[in-house]
Structure 1
Amino acid sequence: MIPAIPSKTAAKPASRGAFIVLEGVDRCGKTTQASLLIKHLVGLGLAAVAMRFPDRTTMVGDLINQYLQSKSELDDRAVHLLFSANRWEAAPALRKTLIDDGANIICDRYAHSGVAFSSSKPSLEDNLDWCRACDVGLPAPDAIIFLDIAQEEAEQRGGYGGERYEKKEMQQRVRKRFSQLQEMDEKDGRIPWFIVNAAQTIEEVQIEINEIVEKTVEKVQSEEQPVGLLWKEETKG
């Protein structure tokens, strides 16, 4: 998930890194664009680290992986708590990477995906607030880049349908939840969303994302704001 931490003898960076999250429905191209973005930032001389959720390499992640591959059955609330726990177990390393190492994090899915997918299940469709509450207080992204693609086109991409959630009706409900979460974040005003048309060529999408991320990194470095808390009002004084 996170590469080796630099030597302890290294000087503490002057500013923290930016936390960028790529979101979208399945097969929208997040993983491809995250990889290209890492290479772009490194090419600019910026430290960049890749993260991905769920992180299937941990004990919690292994349980999630079995569930997603339909090798086990779990209660919907239990599954949501596992996804949330998977993010919480990574939170200390995430903060260390941003603050102590000053590295930018490019994350393929995060809490918004967890909430969107869980609350799209019939058993939890009226429990959006409960789903969000499990992740309140996690490190907050500095920007969410949503790769927008029509359901019909996503279904034509390689590998579609290989996991539990890759079903048309589910993906349509997830898309609506993402829109609802975007509206909530925009009303709150602390987590900016950027919508990118993922139906463009890989190169065209990459150009848009690079521009967004470069501006976000510059903003984070110039304002020197602390890492925010996800969906939680921060006390002052």
Structure 2
Amino acid sequence: MKSNMARGNLILIEGLDRSGKTTQTTRLVETLQRKGKEVELIKFPDRTTPIGRLINAYLVDKSFQLSDQSAHLLFSANRWELAEQIKQKLENGTNIILDRYVYSGIAYTAAKGLDFQWCKNCDIGLPKPDLIIFLNLINNETRSGFGDERYEIKSFQEKVKTQFELFFNEQNWHTIVVDHQTIEQVEDKVWKLVFPLVDHETTTPIDLFK
């Protein structure tokens, strides 16, 4: 892609389970659409792909046994399935909103005790977001409504949060504390971070994880 061509922005919303990611990504897409922006929402894992269907079986069926290494590689492979599609859409001017991505993959596996750097290595070369927003729920006791999937356990979510905190100084990373905030208040904070990015043409090449 030529550096003087405008492209779409890659915007990621991360967070623990029940922190409001799906609500905020959906609302952000709707806002961008109302403002006439080309936009697409991608959720990871994408359970519609061949690898995604295998991941879905692993998440919902706790009798489905995989080594932690195998599971991590599957989640990474799911992201790689869509890597070229993401690049092409960005180059064609579409803004892409991600609900979970590389950071979730690393945090969830490292929370099981696997080497942090090994977890990162699998995603080297994937498109890197222009903006990362982490929805941080500080008081775990206020989080409710967990489902029945493999990782939807409060004690494990605390371990995941500890791994996420290792990213807090990453470039383009912003944390929003969602405790005692309404959906609308969080939405407003998200938009204040997103607006400066989408209000101007992005001409820099797509960054990659290194």
Alignment TM-score, normalising by the size of structure 2 = 0.93
Query: Do structure 1's residue 78 and structure 2's residue 109 form an aligned pair?
Result: no
Aligned to 2:124: 136
Distance 2:49 2:77 in 1: 11
Displacement after TM superposition at 1:215 (Å): 1.2
- Superposed counterparts of 1:64-75, under 5 Å: 64-69=55-60, 70-75=62-67
Alignment TM-score, normalising by the size of structure 1 = 0.83
- Aligned residue pair count: 204
Of 29, 32, 36, which aligns to 1:38? Answer: 29
- 2:106–2:120 CA contact under 8 A, matched in 1: yes
Displacement after TM superposition at 1:132 (Å): 0.1
- 2:13–2:98 CA contact under 8 A, matched in 1: yes
Q: Which whole-Å deviations, capped at 9, do the CAs of 1:164-210 have from their partners, x for residues lacking one? A: 11112211111010011223x2xxxxx31111122310000001111
- Superposed counterparts of 1:18-37, under 5 Å: 18-37=9-28
Query: Unpaired segments of 5 or more residues in structure 1?
Result: 1-12, 186-190, 233-237
Aligned to 1:192: 172
Aligned to 2:49: 58
Query: Do structure 1's residue 99 and structure 2's residue 106 form an aligned pair?
Result: no
- Superposed counterparts of 1:1-237, under 5 Å: 14-69=5-60, 70-100=62-92, 102-122=93-113, 124=114, 127-149=115-137, 150-154=139-143, 156=144, 158=145, 160-183=146-169, 185=170, 191-199=171-179, 200-218=181-199, 221-222=201-202, 224-230=203-209, 232=210
2:167 is matched by which residue type in structure 1?
Answer: L
Distance 2:163 2:16 in 1: 11
Distance 1:206 1:47 in 2: 19
Query: Unpaired segments of 5 or more residues in structure 2?
Result: none
Displacement after TM superposition at 1:117 (Å): 0.1
Secondary structure of the 1:94 match is helix
Q: Which whole-Å deviations, capped at 9, do the CAs of 1:92-144 have from their partners, x for residues lacking one? A: 100011002x010010000000000001003x1xx000000000110000011
Displacement after TM superposition at 1:14 (Å): 4.9
Which of the pair has the greater relative contact order for Cα pairs under 8 Å at 6+ separation? 2
Q: In percent, how many aligned pairs have the same letter?
A: 43
Displacement after TM superposition at 1:211 (Å): 1.2
RMSD of aligned alpha carbons: 1.4
> Runs of 4 or more off by more than 3 Å in structure 1?
none
Distance 1:162 1:23 in 2: 20
Distance 1:197 1:57 in 2: 31
Displacement after TM superposition at 1:71 (Å): 4.6
- 2:168–2:175 CA contact under 8 A, matched in 1: no
